[in-house]
Amino acid sequence: MEYKRITLFAGHYGSGKTNIALNYALNMKRDGKSVVIADLDIVNPYFRTKDSERELNEAGIKLISSSFASSNIDLPALPQEIYSIVDDKSDYAVMDIGGDDRGAYALGRYADSIVRENNYEMFMVINMYRPLTRDVESTLEVMQEIETACSMKFTAVVNNSNIGEETTAQDVLDSMSYADKVAKASGLPLRLTTVDKKLYNELHEKIENLMPLTLQDKIWR
Amino acid sequence: MSEKVLMKGNEAIAEAAILAGCHHYFGYPITPQTEVAAYMAKRMPKIGGTFLQAESEVSAINMVIGVASTGKRVMTSSSSPGVSLKAEGISYLAGCDLPAVVVNVQRGGPGLGGIQPSQSDYFQSVKGGGHGDYHNIVLAPASVQEMASLTFKAFDLADKYSMVSMILADGTMGQMMEPVSLDAGEVNTYEKPWALTGTNCERKHNIVNSLYLKPEALDQKNFERYEKYKTIEENEVMYEEYLMDDAEICVVSFGITARVAKNAINEARAKGVKVGMIRPITLWPFPKKVLNEAADKCKAFISVEMSMGQMIEDIELAIRCKKPVYLCNRVGGMIPTPEEVLAKIDEVNENGGAF
């Protein structure tokens, strides 16, 4: 797979950005790249990239994350180290942006440098089964709000339509026309469709550019 | 195509409230429940409802009193420190016999505590929380689906008994995402002849008030209210039994810890340990009867909580202290792991049953 030097994942909150960013960074690493992942999420208090710190360390991926992430305080501060992503061009970087326009504001301060370097992919992650992005119109609305907030434009769409553990292959197939429509209406390519790896075999011949995701184990039933 | 959607627990509460006919929401942001307010901010203008971010929790709960007085369905939500601030208003709602839904997505305490999940507002919720003699109906969801279905239920019970229903969730419940079906079913409507809707010069003024000039009248009002609470204790108890038929050890747990405990119970069962669970869904009224019956069959109880053992007192009272009640807990934002719960089950299985 061809990678841009910086890959950004943004979208509606709860659309699956963090999980996809994590899997994407691990794939990049497996493809032999030197990878840094940065958590720019200043919105979400729980379920952060930080929770996967050990896994990332073991894979040899550097994590840049607020020292307050997954702590007992919700301080929307970002570490200055994030600037190293735009200043040091020798590493590939994956950036996990917070949900909605509110999350995307944090990206604004790096936007100039990223756009100037002009070697980035900015993914809009979409999920048709999220109640506030059920249709094309509301999804495009969220998309525009994010672009305005961060002063950057999306370059591609990732379809991550799922309803959690109950997702069936059919649910994913049912979302494809929605994803195609969002892509078409926004003038962007549908670059990836992401599914729980359990569904990958059933779907990989039916959906182009399908990417399996390894998801975190839960301690509750 | 799936009818279900993928929601955060906080969003499920907000959408369920709207579907239950709540078109007025007042709140103030606090982690980990802020998504309730954020969701309401987006949705309410689209349905012609009112979303208002008040300048404080105190202000928000007083706005709730205002709308509740008119007989409209109304909700506020917060997390632990914010609910403490609302306590005065909740007591006033109780004193005025007004229906309202209050949501508490708990975080660690006391004080500012922390933003990670907790269940340590148990006492505050089931024993009153504010001043005076009163109860709230307290519902404890253990899935995103229940965040929605118990919100429907909360509005119904609030109107049915003209009192506050509280959703007592925890941060994990608020933040986790699960599939949810948003079917409110039939929404009951209740007559509210006391509501302040304007007399049209056709009836006497209604007065909504919690001040009673005559002590005799206040005395009587309190006794009447407790008759109502008795009816609720008889008719509205909800709980889930899990593998209790032949259980020798009874785990008691609610919310997210009940989900973790289920995991541990399955593992213990695989090893042949006869353990089951009673999960209170209503924390007030507490499922006293079923617990007391279980005490005649089981040798010991284990309370699994994210508090320092607040629920133990209610379990011991319910079972008349007939059997020992052990505690398996984490606090401060930590969730007990299935391994920790399993270790406690094993320990109680080997040594339990004796004081």
Return the CATH number at B303: 3.40.50.920
Asked which of B205, B235, B265 is the last residue of a domain, the reply is B235
Residue B262 and residue B177 share a domain:
no
Q: Is residue B196 part of a domain?
A: yes
Q: Which of A46, A73, A134 sits opposite B171 (nearest CB)?
A: A46
What separation in angstroms does the CA of B173 have from each of A167, B3, B8, B42?
A: 20, 22, 8, 21
Mean pLDDT of B168-179: 96
Tell me the mean pLDDT in the region B140-159. 98
Answer yes or no: do B63 and B165 share one domain. yes
Please check whether residues B257 and B193 belong to one and the same domain. no
- Does any domain span residue B268? yes
Q: Pick from B235, B265, B289: which residue ends a domain?
A: B235
Question: Domain of B125: which CATH number?
Answer: 3.40.50.970
Mean pLDDT of B93-115: 97
> What pLDDT, in 10s, does the model give residues A73-85?
888 889 999 999 9
B22-59 confidence digits (pLDDT tens): 999 999 999 999 999 999 999 999 999 999 999 999 99
Do B262 and B320 share a domain, yes or no? yes
B47 and B156 assigned to the same domain = yes
Helix, strand, or coil (residue B6): strand
Averaged over A163-178, what is the pLDDT?
96
Interchain CB distance below 8 Å, A72 and B114: yes
Q: Are residues B243 and B227 in the same domain?
A: no
> Quick one: B133 and B167 in the same domain?
yes
Which chain B positions have a beta carbon within 8 Å of A130's beta carbon? Answer: 5-7
Q: Is residue B355 part of a domain?
A: no
Instruction: Please give, rounded to a whole number of angstroms, the shortest distance from the CA of B261 to a CA of chain A.
Output: 8
Number of domains in chain B: 2
| Residue B353: predicted pLDDT | 65
- pLDDT value at residue B1: 58
Residue A138 — pLDDT band, cuts 50, 70, 90?
very high
B11 contacts in A (CB within 8 Å)?
14, 131
In chain B, count H helices and then E strands: 12, 15
Query: Are A62 and A126 within 8 A, CB to CB?
Result: no
CA distance to A25, B32, B39, B86, B95, per residue, from B51 (Å): 40, 19, 10, 18, 26
How near does any CA of chain A get to the CA of B258, in Å? 8
Residues B210 and B248 in one domain: no
Q: Measured between CA atoms, how close is B220 to chain A, in angstroms?
A: 46
Residue B328 lies in a domain: yes
3 state SS of B211: coil
Residues in a beta bridge with A7: A94, A121
Q: Does residue B195 sit within a domain? A: yes
Kindly state the percentage of chain B with pLDDT values over 90. Answer: 96
Domain boundary residue, one of B235, B265, B290: B235
Residue B211, domain member (yes or no): yes
Mean pLDDT score of chain B: 96
Which structural domain range is residue B220 located in? 4-235
- For each of the domains in chain A, give its residue range(s) and CATH number, in order of start: 6-213 (3.40.50.300)
Q: Are residues B22 and B49 in the same domain?
A: yes
Give per-residue pLDDT as tens, B150-166: 999 999 999 999 999 99
The answer to whether the CB atoms of B179 and A219 lie below 8 A apart is no
- Interval A17-40: pLDDT, tens: 999 999 999 999 999 999 999 999
Quick one: B276 and B344 in the same domain? yes
Q: Is residue B153 part of a domain?
A: yes
Nearest to B256 among A162, A163, A220 (CB): A220
Residues B320 and B231 placed together within one structural domain of the fold: no
- Give the residue-averaged pLDDT of B213-224: 98
> Within this chain, do residues B51 and B164 fall inside the same structural domain, yes or no?
yes
pLDDT at A38: 96
Q: Nearest chain B Cα to A171, which residue?
A: B1
Query: Is residue B154 one of the residues assigned to a domain?
Result: yes
Alpha-carbon distance B59 to nearest alpha carbon in chain A (angstroms): 23
Q: Where are the alpha helices (DSSP H) in B162-282?
A: 171-175, 215-235, 255-270
